[in-house]
Amino acid sequence: MDMSKTASFSSIATLSIIQMRNVSASYDSKSFVLKNVSMNVKRGTNYAIVGASGSGKSTLLKLMNGMMIPSGGVVLYNYQKPDLKNRQYRKSISKIGYISQTLGLVKNSSVLDNVMIGGLPRLSFFNSFFKLFPKEELEHAHKVLKLVGLDEKSNRKVHMLSGGEKRRVAIARALMQKPDILLADEIVSELDSVTAREIMDVIKDAQKKFNLTAIMIHHDMNLALEYANRVAVIKDGDKVLEIGVEGEQIIDFQTGNLTQEEILEMYNEP
Amino acid sequence: MNPKNNLLIGAVIAVVVVMSYDVGVDPIAFVEGLPNLGIVLKEMTEFESEHWGTAFWAMLETIEMAFIGTILGVVISLPLSIFAARNVSSKYVYGPLRALLAATRTFPSILWAILFVIVVGLGSFAGILAITLYTIGFISKLQYESIEAIDYDPVEATTAIGLSKIQLIRYVIIPESAPHLLSQILYMFDYNVRQTSILGIVGAGGIGFYIINYIKFFEYGKAAVFMLVVLIAVLAIDWASVKIRDRYIMKAQHGQQVKVVKN
Ligand SMILES: Nc1ncnc2c1ncn2[C@@H]1O[C@H](COP(=O)(O)OP(=O)(O)OP(=O)(O)O)[C@@H](O)[C@H]1O
Ligand SMILES: [Mg+2]
């Protein structure tokens, strides 16, 4: 075996996929909803972002895939600036599985059609126009539908699904993209804790299967600590805390050494 | 009622009276002429039954014309409505296009029929063209309005996936704006059958040709046969579209959330 190849492979595994340096963001160029945020997400990480409502979490996620442009600082995805006006970047955006807080499903289409949308950037103009899906694409769609547990309902119209099922469709569509990274904005926040954990387990499975990096926004700190190995806390547009979780151990990256109780306490403080 | 309202009602009545005098409204002529209506109605009941066959075939031709015109119009409207939608197209495209579509709706189809008789000659083809044009103007408007009303959420989500504009139209815009299309088409066909029934008056084919000519020659018994056939056909189509609507559209919406309106 070629040693240099092995070496470069293992170094890729630890490369950063998202980098932010002193990023600020504003919707009206007067007030900033994010101020001077820096973060570094390595490939393969299971990253969670928590914070109160209105603290700027969704904005942070939109900066990562170029749906928003920072007012200051630098954002890099795979060492390039996410910018939808850049043709080079537009090609790579299909590798970012982004699930917005509102899911963005086509309600009058079937589950399968929604999932196929994730694969459209790979299809030729002709095939996508006439809905001639290649066999391997259909197979992949059914594979991800099985993974999220919706293969039996693949012909159902999306507006006839439950809230949890809709989230599964959005996950399946993102997985259909064959993504490098999954950005998910509070996809389990509105669900009961049993369904929320079911869906988090689905994502955990998918991460293992497809070797995914995930950045997920959560409302529930406990859920974040349970599933993620990195947790960042956003407060009023600032990243006030970043910790790593390894088994029972909590490693601190931004503040002093804290116990899990202290962190939970800190988050629960008004 | 307050005096302001009384004044307003008085003013409206005055305007109607003045205008009626201006255009020559003559109530006495109406009363004196009523017996004529009696004569016509009596003659109309004297059906000339050997005309049922002709009337049937003329009505069939009318329905065929309306059907072809509706389908052609809808097929042309679908791409046009996408180009005319403000949330999909550029203003240099939708601006002129919307003006053009508005122009086609300005005149009733019978005026377009006169124009097309001049262009392609007497007969059904001129009528079909007139119906097609009117349908384009109407369905395009209904469709671009429903495209403009679609939810922005899936549009944003699929942009973030990297879909091309064509894919966006094919997989998001069309499915999200189509649910009302079937009901619009049924309504348009219904409307077009009635319109086509009178196009014969200007020589653009269909059953109206017989009706206008028999009336011209005071053959009310014959005209009545044709008018009755129109009535039956329109009622039948009306009934059928209600059935289709119930079956497909109600079914499509079954399970959709019921909106509770609060006062
Ligand atoms: N499109 C917008 N235009 C203007 N202001 C916005 C827009 N979107 C968000 N904001 C503002 O930016 C701030 C941060 O919003 P953001 O959506 O990032 O919060 P969040 O942390 O995701 O909140 P939540 O948990 O409620 O989803 C809020 O004060 C919000 O009012
Ligand atoms: Mg949010």
Distance CA A199, CA A187 (A): 9
Residue A174: partners with Cβ closer than 8 Å, 6 or more residues away: A97, A98, A99, A118, A182, A184
Instruction: Give the ipTM.
Output: 0.83
Given a cut of 90, whether residue B262 has pLDDT beyond it is no
- DSSP letters along B85-132, please? -TTTS-HHHHHHHHHHHHHHHHS-HHHHHHHHHHHH-SSHHHHHHHHH
Say which CATH architecture domain B49-254 belongs to. Orthogonal Bundle (1.10)
Given a cut of 70, whether residue B251 has pLDDT beyond it is no
- DSSP letters along A123-166, please? S-HHHHHTT---HHHHHHHHHHHHHHT-GGGTTSBGGGS-HHHH
**CB count, 10 Å around CB of B254?**
8
pLDDT above 90 coverage of chain A, percent? 56
If you average pLDDT over residues A123-152, what whole number do you get?
93
**CB count, 10 Å around CB of A37?**
23
CB contact under 8 A, B171 and A104: no
The protein residues having their C-beta less than 5 angstroms from ligand 2 (an ion) are A 58, 101
Ligand of minimum distance to the alpha carbon of A59: 1
Among the ranges given (A43-52, A210-219, A261-270, B52-61), the one the predictor scored with the smallest mean pLDDT = A261-270
Q: What is the pLDDT of residues A142-174, one digit of tens each?
A: 999 999 999 999 999 999 999 999 999 999 999
Query: Which amino acid appears at position A6 of this protein?
Result: T
Among the ranges given (A194-208, B8-22, B119-133), the one the predictor scored with the smallest mean pLDDT = A194-208
- The HSE-up count of residue B171 (CA atoms within 13 Å, CB side) is 35
Q: What is the pLDDT of residues B89-133, one digit of tens each?
A: 999 999 999 999 999 999 888 999 999 999 999 999 999 999 999
Ligand 1 lined by A27 (C-beta under 6 Å):
yes
- At B9, the pLDDT band (50, 70, 90 cuts) reads very high
pTM over 0.80: no
Distance CA A268, CA B171 (A): 43
CB contact under 8 A, B175 and A118: no
If you average pLDDT over residues B53-66, what whole number do you get?
93
- B54 alpha-carbon distance from chain centroid: 26
Give the number of A-B residue pairs with CB atoms closer than 8 Å: 79
pLDDT above 90 coverage of chain B, percent? 63
Q: What is the pLDDT of residues A25-61, one digit of tens each?
A: 999 988 999 998 999 999 989 999 998 889 999 999 9
Q: What is the per-residue pLDDT for A235?
A: 87
- At B1, the pLDDT band (50, 70, 90 cuts) reads low
Q: What is the per-residue pLDDT for A1?
A: 41
Distance CA A236, CA A240 (A): 9
Distance B181 CA to ligand 2 centre (A): 35
Q: What is the pLDDT of residues A248-261, one digit of tens each?
A: 677 777 665 556 66
Which residues of chain A neighbour B255 with C-beta distances below 8 Å?
159-160
Q: Which of B156, B167, B172 sits opposite A100 (nearest CB)?
A: B156
- Assess contact for A161 and A131: CB atoms under 8 A: no
Classify strands A230-235 and A238-246 as parallel, antiparallel or unpaired: antiparallel
Distance B92 CA to ligand 2 centre (A): 36
Higher pLDDT, B11 or B1: B11
- At B248, the pLDDT band (50, 70, 90 cuts) reads confident
Q: What is the per-residue pLDDT for A261?
A: 66
What is the average pLDDT score of chain B? 89
Q: What is the per-residue pLDDT for B188?
A: 93
Q: Which of A113, A121, A125 sits opposite B161 (nearest CB)?
A: A121
Which of B153, B161, B254 is the best mutation test for A, with the most CBs of A within 10 A? B161
Query: Which amino acid appears at position B11 of this protein?
Result: A
Distance CA A7, CA B246 (A): 67
Find out if CATH 3.40.50.300 is the number for domain A3-268: yes
| Residue A56 DSSP one-character state | S
For the CA atoms of A121, A126, A127, A128, the dihedral, rounded to the nearest 10 degrees, stands at 50
Which of A105, A108, A183 is the best mutation test for B, with the most CBs of B within 10 A? A108
Q: What is the pLDDT of residues B213-244, one digit of tens each?
A: 998 888 888 888 999 999 999 999 999 988 88
**Burial grade of B103 (CB within 10 A; 0-12, 13-18, 19 or more):** exposed
